[in-house]
Structure 1
């Protein structure tokens, strides 16, 4: 399941300070990590032939892992997004001491951590120098209009105007030097952001890239299981409803028609009465089949699109529906089917259980997401617990990377919100 990561927007200057702290604090760590890993890997590779190299290499990789974990704790604040943490699998249960000792050597992420330490070192040097220089020049740009009068008055201190032959005027020197420094000050947030995100981007790719890939695979597997479960539950429900409803009515109808056939010769008036009952039963069966067909995508959905199909649903609902459809464009079939089923099942639940006097359905597109809102003024109490109808809708939306939430306190009102990717 996909989880939405909400980030509070930080003030502009505070954001720059946070990124600067990240660049400056990780510089000494990068030096220490580089020295330890280079020394450890070199010593380990050089002594492999005498067996001593295995524990040295394992220790070096564990050290790289420790520095990598520190970086992973910093990344969410810098990137304004969560960062997946890899799982370092332990040695198999019952493994011998040698297998346990060399376990870090058998994990690809451990070697990736060590490689990150090596590649991060020169990048950290460049980022640190740029950050310190830009901050120093920016501070100078702020203070120079005040200190420049003193500096320009020092004998033998030639400024740029004097070197260019513009004279030795102190106000002119202060103005020119300030004008040169101010652009550096104005670019400070962009430079700091650039160097910090460059480092953080390399760290995310090398330290969390595989973990994010595995997480995505797990999410897709969960979505697939949800889709299979939703379809299976829908089929079981449809089979049960057909068996308990129309099938029983059709059996009864067949018996009534057989009865009419026998009565036609003996008692035509009784046959006419029985035939009237059979016609009424036919109408009831048709109504029940129409209700069941709401769980199957209707032709109007494929022919005229989602807005027309939702209007048809609202028109058939026994509770008045306030329909607000703010988009009439066509979407992929899987999106239209999912939204249609959510509305159909929700309106069915409202009609059966809510005792509402009014329902509302709203659909609007925001960017590449389709936002669906369904509400009623009924008694509330709806939830998505397993075993209830709404749980199947949550599984259906999860299968297409959508989200589903229900707010329905006792006494009402009920509000269902679904968000579906449609781009």
Structure 2
């Protein structure tokens, strides 16, 4: 989060804020002028001497010293421009050469682009600081002199009145007109003082930021964009992997369950058809058994459909779906899932499958006597926790049962963590962004 200097005093009156900003801008410009002179002399001298003597190798350490000196002035300038711009500027990360030999560490700044930008700023900052200094000093001097002119006009020597000139210009009262004119000039300069001072300070501050911060921020944005691209590619790969795992599991479940029952059902009905003429009682028994298998097949299909898209989750939300899921688990479940507003369907579906898969693993492998399920809504996402007191040993590594669940969570932009020491129970935590 970007911190601003304006947040430090939100209760200041408009007049106090105006005077405070005027003071900040004025001291920034007035101090920038002597700093610009100092950095100009030091930077140009060091650069010229370093380049002139580089052929005899003496210039290299001089150039390094000049770059380090410019870096120090640059760090001070980044701190100075914060109150003017209203936000803190980040400090660039300079190239380091640790563990690469004494010479590389010593002359490392020569290969750092930001160090050279600091030197360019040290040399060129004199231009905007001088222009701004001239405007600010002029505006302050004329504004103060004009507003106070009525107080010290009497102390100035004035030439004798030129009555012919006064008649030509239409002036009747020379002293009063002179005072009024100078006071009006002072009012004009005082009225435009804040704009001129603010413009001069911003010009100098943005010039400094352009050389001292902008390149680093551009690089950081490129890095963040590349990281976001990598995350998106990982999420896409995880989604494809999770989809493939889900399809294979569904295919296996259909093959091992409903498909086998339907094959047997077809065979039983064929036998019943052949025995209706010779042994009706036996045929009726076969048909009755076929009806039982039909009901069992429908129950299995309903269970599979709940695994694909549970209707209660779509109709009544995550809390109700988890309550129904906990009720079907063969291990006692302590559920903490308070009712909450409807979330994104993808988030609800992922949270449901995290709990469903975790409870399935608990029932099959953990030998646990109890399992706790907790769902908490926080400011940035949803935290789903499933913990048991079983044998432990669960893992997210490929080849384990939780690998597909990890892919599903990562596809949703979340993170899945498992803490499962041997004989210490298992704690599975999924953080899903909203």
1:216 paired with 2:235, answer: no
- Give the deviation of 1:351 after TM superposition: 7.3
1:236–1:284 CA distance, 2 compared to 1 (3 A):
same
CA deviation after TM superposition for structure 1 residue 47, in Å = 2.3
Question: How far apart in 1 are the matches of 2:376 and 2:43?
Answer: 65
Residue of structure 2 equivalent to 1:8: 6
Structure 2 counterparts to residues 180-191 of structure 1, below 5 A: 180-191=185-196
Further displaced range: 343-352 or 266-275? 343-352
Secondary structure, counterpart of 1:8 in structure 2: helix
Unaligned residue ranges in structure 2 (runs of 5+):
10-16, 273-285, 321-341, 356-374, 386-395, 397-405, 416-431
Inter-CA distance 269–395: structure 2 relative to 1 (3 Å threshold): closer
Larger mean CA deviation between 122-131 and 164-173 belongs to 164-173
> 1:85 is paired with a residue of what secondary structure?
coil
Distance 1:250 1:169, change over 3 A: farther
Q: Secondary structure at the match of 2:78?
A: helix
Match of 1:65 in 2: 71
Alignment pair present for 1:278 and 2:297: yes
| Distance (Å, rounded) in 2 between the aligned partners of 1:101 and 1:258 | 80
Q: Distance in 2 between matches of 1:283 and 1:179?
A: 89
Equivalent residue in structure 2 for 1:126, among 128, 131, 137: 131
2:345 matched to 1:344?
yes
* Residues 1:115 and 2:120 are matched in the alignment: yes
Please say if residues 241 and 407 of structure 2, whose CA atoms lie closer than 8 Å, have aligned partners that are also in contact: no
1:167 match: secondary structure:
coil
CA 1:90–1:129 in 2, change beyond 3 Å: closer, same or farther?
same
Cα distance in structure 2, aligned partners of 1:254 and 1:391: 32
TM-score, normalised with respect to structure 2: 0.63
Whole-Å separation in 2 of the counterparts to 1:218 and 1:205 = 19
Indicate if the aligned counterparts of 2:261 and 2:297 stay in contact, CA closer than 8 A: yes
Q: How does 1:219-234 map to 2 (within 5 A)?
A: 219-234=224-239
Question: What is the aligned partner in structure 2 of residue 406 from structure 1?
Answer: none
Q: Distance in 2 between matches of 1:125 and 1:234?
A: 59
Match of 1:21? Answer: 27
Q: Tell me which structure has the larger Cα radius of gyration.
A: 2
For the Cα contact (< 8 Å) 2:64–2:110, is it kept in 1? yes
Deviation (angstroms), 1:254: 0.3
CA distance in 1, matches of 2:37, 2:90: 25
Tell me how far apart the structure 2 counterparts of residues 391 and 261 of structure 1 sit (CA, whole Å): 43
Q: 8 Å contact 1:226–1:395 — kept in the other structure?
A: no
Report what 2:260 is aligned to: 255
Compared CA separation, residues 133 and 5, structure 1 to 2 (3 A): same
1:46 paired with 2:46, answer no
User: 2:412 & 2:343 partners in 1: Cα distance?
Assistant: 6
Structure-2 separation of matches of 1:167 and 1:149: 21
* Deviation by residue 1:95-128 (Cα, 9 ceiling, x = unmatched): 244x444333333322222221121112211111
Distance 1:353 1:278, change over 3 A: closer
Residues 228-237 or 266-275, more deviating: 228-237
Q: Structure 1 residues 384, 268: closer, same or farther in 2, change over 3 A?
A: closer
Who is 1:383 aligned against? Answer: 383
How far apart, in 2, do the equivalents of 1:289 and 1:168 lie? 97
Structure 1: distance between partners of 2:413 and 2:187: 55
The CA deviation at 1:252 is: 0.7
What TM-score, normalized to structure 1?
Answer: 0.65
Contact 2:29 2:136 in 1 (8 A): yes
**Is the 1:58–1:102 Cα contact (8 Å) retained in structure 2?**
yes
Structure 1 gap segments, 5+ residues each = 293-312, 321-340, 355-377, 397-415, 419-423
RMSD (Å) for aligned C-alpha atoms: 4.0
Report the equivalent of 1:89.
Answer: 95
- SS of match in other structure, 1:192: helix
Question: Per the alignment, in what secondary structure is the counterpart of residue 123 of structure 2?
Answer: helix
CA contact (8 A) 1:233 1:392 kept: yes
Q: What is the 5 A alignment of 1:30-45? A: 30-45=36-51
Change (3 A) 1:384 1:44: farther
Q: Is the 8 A contact 2:238 2:411 kept in 1?
A: yes
CA distance in 2, matches of 1:94, 1:179: 68
Question: In the alignment, which residue of structure 2 is the partner of 1:148?
Answer: 150
Alpha-carbon distance in structure 1 between the residues aligned to 2:350 and 2:107: 59
Structural mapping, 1:396-411, within 5 Å = none
Any idea what the Cα deviations from partners look like across 1:308-349, whole Å, max 9, x if unmatched?
xxxxx97674779xxxxxxxxxxxxxxxxxxxx971134447
Structure 2 CA distance for aligned equivalents of residues 217 and 89 of structure 1: 17
The 2-side partners of 1:167 and 1:92 are apart by 81
Deviation at 1:35, TM superposition (A): 1.0
CA distance, structure 2, for counterparts of residue 392 and residue 51 of structure 1: 57
Matched, 1:174 2:172: no
C-alpha distance in 1, partners of 2:183/2:6? 35
Once the two structures are superposed, the pairs formed by residues 188-199 of structure 1 within 5 Å of their partners are 188-199=193-204
